[in-house]
Amino acid sequence: MRRVNKRVIAAAFVMIWLGAKYVIGSEPNTFESGDTQNSLIELFTSEGCSSCPPAEKWLSGFKSNPDLWKKTVPVAFHVDYWNHLGWRDRFSKPEFSRRQQRYAARWAGDSVYTPAFVVNGQEWRDWFSRNALPPSLKTVGNLRVTLSEGEKLNATFVPKSTQTHDFVLNVALLGNDLESEVKRGENTGRKLRHDFTALSLAKTDMVYDGDRWGASIPLPKPSGDDKPSALAAWITENEIPIQATGGSLH
């Protein structure tokens, strides 16, 4: 990760123009966490995996959960390593597979698998027993993101710790109520429905200004025709999520 000189703030915010040409809304969208850590729930999944639909159905249940965006931020990353087994998942991206591989390397895991849940950067296998999510009680600080004019996101993070760190802002556009008619592979003949599906992902280093961290980043443009309906944003330290927020786009 590129390190930022905390005493030099000449380039106030890093900007990455990716040419997003769609308009999500004319009014600003603002999403904000509290000081207590929200749970970033990552699901690594694939349309080529017959055991993944139940996991995705469980994740879809957060649409009616009052904790959605307030305590939990769900994101489904479709991996591409199933694509050579008969069905190409249109939501899959190599970068999502690499993301899972980096997690596995951190845990000294010998392989990756689907469905796989990660909660705040930690492997969570208790889903298979339908156990409750591990509680998140850490006081980490406030993350606030504002999306204006449908193309640029501004973020500030005010950590509770007085120590300075190197933080990275991550932003994903999510699709809901997405459907696929699977023609081949393990899910042949099934109509699969997906929610909280990552359609694009971008990140940038945050800049320290003495009492808070800030960043500005253009929204990453989805590669396909599926329209985003929600946004998730989170802060990482050494690639581990420490705070997250998000919400529906209007």
Domain ranges across the chain: 29-248
Q: Report CA 158 to chain centroid distance, whole Å.
A: 20
Block residue for tokens 């600003």: 28
C-alpha neighbours within 13 Å on the C-beta side of residue 135: 3
CB 46 within 8 A of CB 52: yes
Which pTM value belongs to this model? 0.87
In the chain, % helix, strand, coil (3-state, to 5) comes to: 15, 40, 50
18 pLDDT tier (thresholds 50, 70, 90) = very low
Dig out the tokens for 205 from the structure.
Answer: 């280093």
Select the more confidently predicted residue: 12 or 216.
216
pLDDT digits 0-9 by tens, 157-182: 999 987 767 899 999 999 999 999 99
